[in-house]
Amino acid sequence: MKEGIHPAYKEIQAVCVCGETFTTKSTKPTIRVDICSKCHPFFTGRQKLVDAEGRVQKFKKKYAKKS
C-alpha cells in the first residue's frame, strides 16, 4: 500500500443513546449509535411479536391439515 494516503485507523469510544459506551476502531474520531446490544429488544429478551391483523391465525387456518 502507498504511504500517507490512507486515513488513521485508531481505537475510539462509540456511544449509544441509552448511555452504553464500547470500544471499537474507526477512521472517525467518535461514533454515536441509535441502538446497541444492551438496549436492542432481540438481545434483551423483551422482543414481542405483534400480529395486529391476524395474519398468523389466517395462515394456520388456511394451511391446517384437514382430518
Over the stretch 19-34, which tens digit does the pLDDT of each residue have?
A: 889 999 999 999 998 8
Residue 43's pLDDT is 64
Q: C-alpha cell of 14?
A: 462509540
Residue 12's pLDDT is 93
Q: Mean pLDDT across the stretch 7-14? A: 92
Confidence of residue 44 (pLDDT cuts 50, 70, 90): low
**Domains plus CATH for the chain?**
10-63 (4.10.80.400)
Q: Is pLDDT larger for residue 59 or for residue 23?
A: 23
Round the average pLDDT of the chain to a whole number and report it.
81
